[in-house]
Structure 1
Amino acid sequence: MFILRKTFLLILLSTFLFSSMEIMLKLAGSSFNAIQLNFLRFLIGGIFLLPLAIHSIIKKKLKIDRRAIGSFALTGLICVLISMTLFQLAVMYGKASIAAVVFSSNPVFALLFSYLILHETLSRPNLISVVISVLGLLIIMNPFHLTNPLGMILALLSAVTFGFYSIISRKVSQTEHFDGVTITSFTFIFGSLELAVLMALSHLPMVAEVLNQNPLTANFAMIPYFAGINLNTIAMILYLGIGVTGIGFATYFIAMERSDVATASLVFFIKPVLAPIMALIILHEAILLNTWIGIGVIVVGSVVSFVGQRAVTAENTMVHEDYLETIEDEGERADQAIATEVADVKSELDRKEAAVKNKSLSKSINEIDD
Structure 2
Amino acid sequence: MTSTDNKKKALLMVIIAIIIFSTFEVVSKTMGDVLSGTALTFYRFLIGGLVLLPFSIRDLKNRQFHFTPKIVLALFFFGFVLVAAIMTLAQYGIYYSDASICAVIFSSNPIFVTIFAVIILKESLTKYKSYGLIIGSAGLFICVLHFFVDGNITSTFGLGVLLQILSMLMFCIYTVLNSKYLVSRMGALSVTTFTSIFGAITLFPIVFAQSFATDTNLFTFDVLSVLPKFLYISIIGTGLAYAMYFSGLSKIETSTGSMIFMAKPPLASIFAAIFLNETIGINIIIGIVLIIAAMIIATKLPTIQKGHEYEKTRDYYPTGESETAEGHS
TM band (smaller chain): 0.7 to 0.9
Compared with structure 1, are the counterparts of its residues 196 and 174 closer, same or farther at alpha carbon in structure 2 (3 Å cutoff)? closer
Q: CA deviation at 1:185?
A: 0.3
In structure 2, distance between residues paired with 1:72 and 1:269:
28
2:164 maps to amino acid: A
Q: Secondary structure at the match of 1:114?
A: helix
The answer (yes or no) to whether the contact 1:80–1:192 under 8 Å persists in 2 is yes
Is 1:167 the counterpart of 2:176? The answer is: yes
Kept after mapping to 2: 8 A contact 1:90/1:155: yes
Give RMSD over aligned pairs.
2.7
Shift of 1:91: 0.6
Q: Which of the residues 51, 58, 64 maps onto 1:61?
A: 64
- 2:208 alignment partner AA: A
Corresponding residue of 1:145 = 149
Equivalent residues in 2 for 1:1-370 (5 A)?
1-142=4-145, 144-145=148-149, 147=153, 148-173=157-182, 177-203=185-211, 208=213, 221-222=214-215, 224-308=217-301, 310-311=303-304
**Preserved contact between residue 172 and residue 178 of structure 1 (Cα < 8 Å):** no
1:308 Cα shift?
2.9
Shift of 1:314: 5.2
Write the distance in 2 (CA, Å) between the matches of 1:112 and 1:261: 19
Tell me the distance in 2 between the aligned counterparts of 1:165 and 1:224.
31
CA spacing shift, 1:241–1:316, aligned 2, 3 Å: farther
Structure 1, residues 126-159: CA drift from partner, whole Å, max 9, x if none?
A: 1111110100111111164163321211111111
More moved, 307-316 vs 261-270: 307-316
d(CA) in 2 for partners of 1:316, 1:233? 55
Please report how far the alpha carbon of residue 313 of structure 1 lies from its aligned counterpart in structure 2 after TM superposition. 7.5
User: Which whole-Å deviations, capped at 9, do the CAs of 1:252-288 have from their partners, x for residues lacking one?
Assistant: 2223322233222224311111111111011111112
Change (3 A) 1:169 1:125: same
- CA shift, 1:234, in A, is 2.2
Contact 1:14 1:267 survives alignment (8 Å): no
Give secondary structure in 2 for the equivalent of 1:161: helix
In structure 2, C-alpha distance between the alignment counterparts of 1:41 and 1:316, rounded to whole Å = 46
Q: Which amino acid aligns with 2:39?
A: Q
Using the TM superposition, give the Cα deviation of residue 105 of structure 1 relative to its aligned residue in structure 2, in angstroms: 0.7
Greater shift in the superposed pair: 77-86 or 37-46: 77-86
The 3 A distance-change label for structure 1 pair 266 and 225 is farther
Once the two structures are TM-superposed, the CA of residue 312 in structure 1 deviates from its matched residue by: 7.3
Q: Which range is displaced more, 186-195 or 114-123?
A: 114-123
Taking every aligned residue pair, what percent have the same amino acid on both sides?
A: 30
Greater relative contact order structure (CA < 8 Å, 6+ sep)? 2
Cα 1:317/1:84, change in 2 over 3 Å? farther
Q: Distance in 1 between matches of 2:183 and 2:196?
A: 19
Deviation at residue 203 of structure 1 after TM alignment: 4.8
| Conserved 8 A contact 2:11-2:252 | no
- The Cα shift of 1:4 comes to 2.5
Gaps of 5+ in 1: 209-220, 330-370
**Which position in structure 1 is the counterpart of 2:327?**
none
How many residues align structurally?
A: 310
